[in-house]
Amino acid sequence: MLPNQDNSPKSFQEYWAILRRRRFLFLVPFAAIAMVSSLYALSLPEIYRSQATILIEDQAIPEDIVGATISNYASQQIQLISRRVLTIENIQKVIEKYNVYGPADPIEPVPYAIQANWFRDDMDLELVSAEVVDPRGRASEAAVAFTLAFRSSEPKVAQDVTRELVALFLNENRRSSGSTTMGVSALLTSAVESANQELLVAETELAKFRTENEGALPELYQFNFDVISRTEQQLSDVNLRIQELEQRKLQLSAQLSSISPTAPVKLPDGEIVVGDQERLRASLAEYQRKVSIYESDHPDLVRLRREIEVLQKTLGEGGTAALLAQQLTDEQTRLTELRERYSSEHPDIAAAEAAIAELESQLAFARRKEAASAGSPDNPAYVMVNTQLQSAVLESQSLLVKRAELESVIARHEALIKLAPQIGMQYEILSRSYENAKTKYQDLQAKLRAAEVAANVEQNITGQRFTLIEPPALPLTPEEGSVASMFFLGIVFAGGIGVGAVALVESADNSVRGARELESLLGAPPLAAIPYIKNNSDIRHDNRVRLSLLGACAGCAALAVAYVVYWS
Amino acid sequence: MGRIEDALIKAKAEKLTRPHVTAKSQQELERQRSSLRRHGDELATPELPSPPISDRRQVDFDQLSEQRVIAASDQDDRVGPYRQLRTQLLKTMRDNNWSSLAITSPNEGAGKTLTAVNLAISLSRSANTTVVLVDLDLTSPTVHQKLNINPGKGLVDFLEGHAELDQVLFDPAIDRLVVLAGRSAGKQSSELLASPRMHELIRSLRAKGDSHIAIFDLPPLLRNDDAILFTPLADATLIVVEDGVTTKDQLMQSIQLLKNANVIGTILNKVK
């Protein structure tokens, strides 16, 4: 059966009871350690500290740096210089010059790096801030000076080393800074230039492509599409109109052929004078009709022939084309008859053929003349219809032209649309390389600017002057606090050890303590709790212990006093 | 119980024949004489035999105190716990008609013998009870030391048959208390505790009834088997636990070992 662990949180009284019970276990280690640490604290050598103050003048705060970071900026500068000054080499020189850490152990010399660490621990570098008004007119804190200090158990050493450090810092300040940042700037500048060139090239190419493929750019796709659909609309309208006009032309032509170009002259009494031209035509038409019915010596025919002759003479030479045409027809008929009767060598046939030829040329001439001297038609009806016809013809012509135009527009834009994907892809490629070139250029620009700022900062560091305003003094009194703090630490440590010892023993203690524990173990409290009964020998023993304890304390106290007296 | 009574009377008589050393009042003496006479009337033995050769001193309070036996004193405040214990035990034992009580402890030096002695004295001071304190620690009996008795023979002699009961019963000069002292025996202790003489002793102790209580001081449980063997024979058992010394393991182990006994409680002793 496992024993029950009484894990309930203990009250303060229980803890106090534990401590009382185990008082020796606590007191002995506590006293021992406290004493040892006190002795150690007392034996520590006194430390002397010497300090110098250096002023930072002409602090030009770069405008890029916002007011809030001014003190960071100053501490960065100081850090920079301190890193350059406090190399292990420099420190070692100082240590050796002033024998800061005693003579070197010939058998096992302490490594330089460790000595340098001691040195840095013994050294102090602190910024002194004050309120300044930055270029923007805001009040803020800036570091205006810094202090250098060194600690040593020898006052003279403290002062000497501090003076040496001051000299080192001031020297470093006077040296001009390296050109590392300058070099970086130069490199960046040339990089920026070449990036700029690339950018220009990409830009030009892109622009060229745009102009070359203006219509086909994907951004114009919709536009082209719209144009096509609009133009097709127009085209269909035009086609419709052309068809209409064709019909109208036909109509008008038909109308025209039935109207005489010359209007009949109306006499004042209402009689219409038929013009010569009309009369001739009428006569001819009548003659034509009658010639196939009657013989040629019919009186109608004779009369008609005579009228026609007169009219022809009145109208002009040769005769009208119509008459000539009639004559020609007659002659041709006669010729055909002749050819049936005679052979082709017959003189009549030859004469007839010559006559036909003559008639033909006359006819042609007459026709030409007729066409030329058709005379301006003066029939209003004729004129109106003719005008309408002419205008329809004109309009039709112009519409045909327009149609051709529209069709070409459509074709052009369809071609552009077809090209669009390919053009689009190429455009994409070119535009992307343009963007890349631009980004690269911008990045390099930014880097160049940053490098310039850094160079400027460094310039400023060396541009500032360090001035010693308080030289290191020879410390007359030692630094306070080290002994007291060591003493205090010792007490705390001793207490800790004591409590730890008690806790350890207590936790390992498996015994039954107290009626409560018994009750929790067995479920019932003890029937009686009988205290320890002391007899006389117990009492005598207690007295002895008490006495010896007292004696021990007194002895320790005496020792401590003697020690302190001896050492101070 | 007859034999014990006889022995008791005999022991008292022997004591009376010797001169007093302690400051006991005449009244005390007279009272003792009259009580003896009363007993004597019952038993009809007017003749008191000669005292045995065993060396017996008068016990006195200072010596008792030195042994930390304080229950005999009326003024000592430290007796309080014992009185309370006595009251509880008396009630319990009477209620259950018990007459024998075994006292043991898990570890050595827990104070069980002292507790047994103080408890026995305390019990005897309640008027109606006669207490027989039996030292059953056969390897290193200490009861007689606490009461400043120097016995010539002890319980082991009785159990082995070398002595009679009256030879091992002692009067510690405290009323109604009889001590059955022990003598260091050797190695056969366990067997003796189970011997017929022991059983007879227990029976005669039990036979007396209400007015007698036998208290058995046993060796520690973890020393040997004696306590484990004996405790089932007693009516009740008490375990003495030493504050800050007895470990929880020891305690739980003891409880386990006493599973056949009638453990009625624990006593936390040497509380600091």
DSSP H/E element including A316:
none
Strand, coil or helix: what is A215? coil
Chain B CB contacts of A513 below 8 Å: 243-244
Does A532 touch chain B if contact means CB atoms closer than 8 Å?
yes
Mutate to test the interface with B, among A530, A532, A536 (most CBs of B within 10 A): A530
Does B64 touch chain A if contact means CB atoms closer than 8 Å?
no
Mind telling me how many Å the CA of B110 is from chain A's nearest CA?
11
Q: Read off the tokens for B89.
A: 């035990």
CA distance A527 to B239: 10
Around Cβ A108, how many Cβ atoms within 10 Å? 7
Of the given ranges (A318-332, A354-368, B78-92), which has the lowest mean pLDDT? Answer: A318-332
The predicted pLDDT at position A478 comes to 76
Q: What is the mean pLDDT of residues A324-349?
A: 81
List, for residues A410-444, the tens digit of each pLDDT value.
Answer: 998 888 888 888 888 888 888 898 899 899 888 88
CA distance B207 to B199: 12
Mind telling me how many Å the CA of B99 is from chain A's nearest CA?
18
Q: Read off the tokens for B183.
A: 């003598």
Does B77 touch chain A if contact means CB atoms closer than 8 Å?
no
Cα-Cα-Cα-Cα torsion A62, A63, A65, A70, nearest 10 degrees, comes to 60
Amino acid identity of residue B52, one-letter, is: P
What percent of chain A clears pLDDT 70, i.e. is strictly above it?
81
Q: Read off the tokens for A392.
A: 């329809």
Does B113 touch chain A if contact means CB atoms closer than 8 Å?
no
Q: What is the mean pLDDT of chain A?
A: 79
> Which one, of A529, A1, A509, lies nearest residue B266 by Cα?
A529
Does A120 touch chain B if contact means CB atoms closer than 8 Å?
no
Q: Read off the tokens for A323.
A: 């008459």
pLDDT of B10 above 80: no
Query: How many helices (DSSP H) and strands (DSSP E) are in chain A?
Result: 16, 7
Is the entire prediction scored with pTM above 0.80? no
The predicted pLDDT at position B158 comes to 82
List, for residues A371-388, the tens digit of each pLDDT value.
Answer: 665 556 667 788 888 888
Going from the C-alpha of A9 to that of each of A3, A5, A297, the distances in angstroms are: 18, 12, 167
Q: What is the mean pLDDT of chain B?
A: 75
CB A427 within 8 Å of CB A213: yes
Around Cβ A179, how many Cβ atoms within 10 Å? 12
Burial class (CB in 10 A: 0-12, 13-18, 19+), A126: middle
Chain B CB contacts of A25 below 8 Å: none
Amino acid identity of residue B135, one-letter, is: D
The predicted pLDDT at position B54 comes to 42
Chain B CB contacts of A535 below 8 Å: 65-68
User: In this complex, which of A513, A522, A533 lies closest to B243 when CB atoms are compared?
Assistant: A513
Q: What is the mean pLDDT of residues A188-202?
A: 86
pLDDT of A495 above 60: yes
Q: Read off the tokens for A234.
A: 């127009």
Of the given ranges (A243-247, A275-279, A441-445), which has the lowest mean pLDDT? Answer: A275-279
Going from the C-alpha of A114 to that of each of A94, A95, A111, A124, B143, the distances in angstroms are: 14, 12, 5, 17, 74
Encode burial over B88-127: b for 16+ CB neighbours within 10 A, e otherwise: ebbebbeeeebbbbbbbbbbeebbbbbbbbbbbbbbbbee
Q: Read off the tokens for B159.
A: 């159990």
Mind telling me how many Å the CA of A477 is from chain B's nearest CA?
55
CB A399 within 8 Å of CB A246: no
Mutate to test the interface with B, among A16, A533, A537 (most CBs of B within 10 A): A533
CA distance B68 to A48: 66
Q: What is the secondary structure of B64-77 as a DSSP string?
A: HHHTT--TT-SS-G
Strand, coil or helix: what is B12? helix
List, for residues A68-99, the tens digit of each pLDDT value.
Answer: 444 456 677 778 788 888 888 888 888 888 88
The predicted pLDDT at position A386 comes to 85
Q: What is the secondary structure of A54-89 as a DSSP string?
A: EEEE-----TTS-GGGHHHHHHHHHHHHHHHH--HH
Does A130 touch chain B if contact means CB atoms closer than 8 Å?
no
Q: Read off the tokens for A202.
A: 């990409």
Encode burial over A315-347: b for 16+ CB neighbours within 10 A, e otherwise: beeebbbbbbbbbbeebbeebeebeeeeeeeee
Strand, coil or helix: what is A217? coil
Does B76 touch chain A if contact means CB atoms closer than 8 Å?
no
CA distance B128 to B210: 9
Q: Read off the tokens for B215.
A: 């208290």
List, for residues B184-238, the tens digit of each pLDDT value.
Answer: 766 666 777 778 888 888 777 776 656 788 899 998 988 888 888 888 888 899 9
The predicted pLDDT at position B176 comes to 82
List, for residues B115-146, the tens digit of each pLDDT value.
Answer: 999 999 888 888 677 888 888 888 888 888 88
| Pairing outcome for strands B177-180 and B263-271 | unpaired
pLDDT of A132 above 70: no
| A489 band by pLDDT with thresholds 50, 70 and 90 | confident
pLDDT of B33 above 60: no
The predicted pLDDT at position A377 comes to 67
Is this prediction's ipTM beyond 0.85?
no
pLDDT of B48 above 50: no
The predicted pLDDT at position A235 comes to 92
Amino acid identity of residue A308, one-letter, is: I
Of the given ranges (A130-139, A429-438, A470-479, B69-78), which has the lowest mean pLDDT? Answer: A130-139
What percent of chain A clears pLDDT 90, i.e. is strictly above it?
6
Q: What is the mean pLDDT of residues A400-410?
A: 91
Structure-token match 């390897």, residue found = B139
Going from the C-alpha of B94 to that of each of B86, B128, B212, the distances in angstroms are: 12, 12, 10
Subunit contact B81:A536, Cβ cutoff 8 A: no
User: In this complex, which of A21, A526, A531 lies closest to B241 when CB atoms are compared?
Assistant: A526
Q: What is the mean pLDDT of residues A107-117?
A: 82
* CB proximity list for B198: less than 8 A, separation 6 or greater: B159, B192
The predicted pLDDT at position A128 comes to 81
Subunit contact A524:B268, Cβ cutoff 8 A: no
| Pairing outcome for strands A265-266 and A465-470 | unpaired
Burial class (CB in 10 A: 0-12, 13-18, 19+), B138: buried
Does A7 touch chain B if contact means CB atoms closer than 8 Å?
no
Q: Read off the tokens for A400.
A: 């045909």
CA distance A69 to B142: 89
CB B267 within 8 Å of CB B238: yes
pLDDT of A10 above 80: no
